[in-house]
Amino acid sequence: MINEDNGRTREEEILEFCRAPRSSREICNFLGKSTIPYLNRTYLQPLVESGKLLLTVPNYASNMQRYVNAENAGLIPTDGAILDCCKVPRTKTEIEQHFGLSHFMAAKHYNPLIESGKLIGNMPGSPKSRWQKFVAADAGMPITTDDILIEFCTVPRSRPEIAERLGMDLKYMRRYIEPLVADGRLKMTKPEMPSSIDQRFFSGDAPVVVLTEEAVLTFCGVPRGRNEVGERFGLKRHNVQKYLNDLVVGEKLKITIPLSPQCWHQKFVRSNVDVRVLSEEALLEFCRASRTKAEITEYFGVSCKATLGKYLEPLMRTGKLRHTIPDQPTNRFQKFVSV
């Protein structure tokens, strides 16, 4: 019978629909009529007998029976087809979906291959894990989670990137990453901040900037701002502030503007490096002779005259500094002198 809508016979429509494995119910719904027994008797059995349709389950009457056209015979779950499918790592769910089988029916096919060693799982220590992936033994590719991680991390990778690569939840990453870090096969870009959200993991000897105290102290051989340190070592603003503050408290770094420790223009330098710092004592000493704002910023290396006022005002209020032109505070010739 010819379908007037598309000019094809029922047999042609069924063969086209069965490019992927289909059950009798799916075919019946696709045609929009006929009972399943009538469909089987009138259309499916003749197509199977002629070799145009193939069965995915040898038992014709199985409830799990699927039909696929002869051109897509590779979707029938034979041992060879499953091993071919697993040339790349596949979860059990992926295998089941590929062949259109229920978990129970698919297990009958892949369990013997796993037991015989023809399929190898990537998590031998967690055989029942739902993230377990299997690959054909002759595929010649990294199979264990450790091997996959080490190969993936030839460039620095974050925890979310690793979780996506392994197809796992982020909260389970520690159990796979920490053993590799402990035995040296993975390294951290920020070993002194293991829980940092900016942490990256890498393998091999790739030229990577690693956050260590020695590296930061070397970088701060000249005064460096927070942004400079953050960009150099891949730290966000909050993390770089905390890290640098700890080094200042430990007297390994010093700040160039002690008058305002949280100043945005603050710079950090190694404690043994001789640089001018904008402290109260240094400022009052410099201003024994009257000085303009420009002279003060140039002497102490403060980046902006506009911000200098907030360092000078507390000293003005306490009477330790005074204006040389007190009646005209904003006069462009204004200078400051110690009292």
Q: How many domains does the chain have?
A: 4
**The predicted structure's pLDDT at residue 16:** 87
271/282 same-domain check: no
Is 113 inside a domain boundary?
Answer: no
**The predicted structure's pLDDT at residue 106:** 81
Query: Which CATH number belongs to the domain containing residue 263 in this structure?
Result: 1.10.10.10
290/326 same-domain check: yes
268/282 same-domain check: no
Q: What are 13-67's pLDDT values in tens digits?
A: 888 888 888 888 888 888 876 678 888 888 888 888 888 888 877 665 566 778 8
Is 30 inside a domain boundary?
Answer: yes
- Which domain, by its residues, includes 290? 278-339
Is 242 inside a domain boundary?
Answer: yes
Is 259 inside a domain boundary?
Answer: yes
- Under DSSP, the state recorded for 22 is B
Report the distance separating Cα 237 and Cα 285, nearest Å. 34
228/241 same-domain check: yes
- Under DSSP, the state recorded for 208 is -
**The predicted structure's pLDDT at residue 4:** 46
Task: Please identify, among 74, 99, 134, the residue that sits at the C-terminal boundary of a domain.
Answer: 74
64/2 same-domain check: yes
pTM over 0.75: no
291/236 same-domain check: no
**Segments of the chain scoring below 50 in pLDDT:** 1-2, 4
Is 195 inside a domain boundary?
Answer: yes
Is 317 inside a domain boundary?
Answer: yes
Task: Please identify, among 242, 275, 308, the residue that sits at the C-terminal boundary of a domain.
Answer: 275
The Cα-based distances of 272 to 48, 249, 253, 283 in angstroms read: 87, 15, 8, 21
The Cα-based distances of 100 to 23, 75, 89, 95 in angstroms read: 9, 8, 18, 8
